[in-house]
A = this chain, B = another copy of it.
Amino acid sequence: MGISKNQLKLITSLSQKKYRQKHKLFIAEGIKVVNELLNSTFKVEALFCVDDFSCTISDDKVVRISENDLKKISSLKNPNKVLGLFQIPEENKLRNNELIIALDDINDPGNLGTIIRLCDWFGVSELICSTKTVDCYNQKVVQASMGSLTRIAIHYLDLAAYLSKTELPTFIADMDGENVYKAKLPKDGILIMGNEANGISNEIKTLVKNKISIPRFGETHETESLNVATATAVLLSEFKRG
């Protein structure tokens, strides 16, 4: 059948957030990620796949295409059999009774995708993103999250307004904070991670009481820091290990 001009136009437009929001659609690629989405509550709009990709969804949603056409529409270096269009689900209501991760303007799609996977692994089901945080339906986030996107409720909201009202204990990762290995960490609470370049914004800092830090074990170098995704990994591990 091949791809129609309109389909091609739609797929290309979805690399931009405004068109994702307009069409309420996003792109996922590759066998693993697409199958995770097909096996979730997410709804598929269309699948563009090569002949030997097998799936059980209704034929009217499947468009068989050549390897060459797949290369044209793919944003991956090595396209992997299938590109799917999925519907962006409605946001669920935020639950406020467990460990929650909140992101203060994370920019890098790879970092957000990795943090979504970390939430999935460590049983964190609610992820809050400040409105300026990169869109979780950005294609690079979808690919980096490896399907974990389907299992985490992600909420975009005004982080300062939210934190000024919450009754949960709040924690920021901060160089000057208490050694996390010695801190008493609660079961429920909000762990806030900051922007890659600027850390936690001043507005958020004034709203949060607890500062924790991962101590350096190497010699001190002023320029040294941990990547936000690896810092999240260590801190989540500390909250959860008990």
* Nearest B residue (CB) for A179: B241
Q: Does A139 contact B (CB under 8 A)?
A: no
Query: Contact: B226 with A121, CB < 8 Å?
Result: yes
Q: Does A230 contact B (CB under 8 A)?
A: yes
Across the interface, which residues of B come within 8 angstroms of A32, CB to CB?
A: 223
Across the interface, which residues of B come within 8 angstroms of A225, CB to CB?
A: 121, 146
**CB-contacts of A23-49 with B (<8 A):** 32, 36
Query: Contact: B217 with A181, CB < 8 Å?
Result: no
Q: A217-B123, A221-B151, A234-B237 are in contact. Are A226 and B118 (CB under 8 A)?
A: yes
CA distance A21 to B123 in the complex (A): 45
Interface residues on A, range: 35 or more
CA distance A36 to B223 in the complex (A): 8
Across the interface, which residues of B come within 8 angstroms of A221, CB to CB?
A: 120, 151
Q: Does A201 contact B (CB under 8 A)?
A: no
* Nearest B residue (CB) for A123: B217
Which of B114, B148, B224 lies in contact with A120, CB distance below 8 A? B224
Q: Mark A136-161, 1 if CB is under 8 A from B, else 0.
A: 00000000001110010000000000
Query: Contact: B233 with A217, CB < 8 Å?
Result: no
* Nearest B residue (CB) for A125: B218
Query: Contact: A122 with B36, CB < 8 Å?
Result: no
Q: A223-B32, A227-B114, A234-B233 are in contact. Are A121 and B217 (CB under 8 A)?
A: yes
Give A residues with C-beta under 8 Å from B: 32, 36, 110, 114, 117-125, 146-148, 151, 181, 214, 216-219, 221, 223-227, 229-234, 237-238, 240-242
Across the A-B interface, give the 6 residue pairs with the lowest CB-CB distance, nearest first.
Answer: A123-B217, A230-B233, A123-B218, A233-B233, A234-B237, A181-B241
